[in-house]
Structure 1
Amino acid sequence: MKREHIETMISQEVERIISGTDLELVDVEYVREKNWYLRVFIDKEGGVDLEDCQAVSEKLSKVLDEKDPIQENYLLEVSSPGLDRILKKDKDFVRYAGRTVDIHFFQPYNGKKDLVADLVGKGEDGKLTVRVDGNEEILDMKTISQVRLHIDF
């Protein structure tokens, strides 16, 4: 089964598991590093705790044991998306409007592959509006590989 199919199927299972709770599914990754990892990122208002992650992990493990959809050996991880979470869904761009983000491009934009900007929003046309040095810029999402919340240390 292709990685994308596994991620879609696991996303559907997790959505079913968390339905009726205050949890939300942020992302699912099925990636090979040294080993295969199935990573599920969940969140809720105020942040998730260990008990939230453990409950989802236990329920998902039961489903995975029953259905056995993944042939390879893998490690299941259920966690928070972190402070520098990736913004993927349209509702992420609404929720975090006004926040500073790190934008990574597939190809250099104005000579740079990375940009730190204030998120204004994402339009229905798939364009991202950001503010850089007080000026609004409109970026095509097709040119962006990743948008993350920016963290200042």
Structure 2
Amino acid sequence: MPRFVPRQRKHKVRKRLEQDSGNVGLPNGNDSNAAEIFPGTVAETEKKRQDMRNILRAQHPKTSSKKQKRLDKYIDIKLRKEENLDLIKKLASAKVDTSLLRSSRSLGRKPAKREVLSQALKESQAGVNLEKNSELLFEHDDDDDDDDDEIRR
């Protein structure tokens, strides 16, 4: 009896798989400005899975169907962990400085003058909102006697 090979018999799914593998204009994971980032094509993941399966089966040539199922499950989990590791590396490279963020606890109330000034000082040191912060942090004296504009801290 020939070995069972799973096949996709629904034409709708077959057509969708062909379209996915044929789309060249889709943004890939490397384009950071893409509106949507699509996962790799089915063919790429299937190729990785097949390569890994071939390597592991070469080490153990005679395996039962039960062991092959466990091996396939092991391969799937391994590939999923690799994808998660890649995502974590991408997230680690895109860290944001959290010192300028405000607590959600204080969102519903008006901040005190001291809080506004300390936030403005932090932002000016970080180089954010310089014009707005300069109005808060610096006093501009306009004396009629002096022609010079004095700036005091």
TM-score band w.r.t. shorter chain: under 0.3
Greater length-normalized contact order (CA 8 Å, ≥ 6 residues apart): 1
The structure having more radius of gyration, on CA atoms, is 2
More helix by share: 2
More strand by share: 1
TM-score for the superposition, normalised by structure 1: 0.26
TM-score for the superposition, normalised by structure 2: 0.26
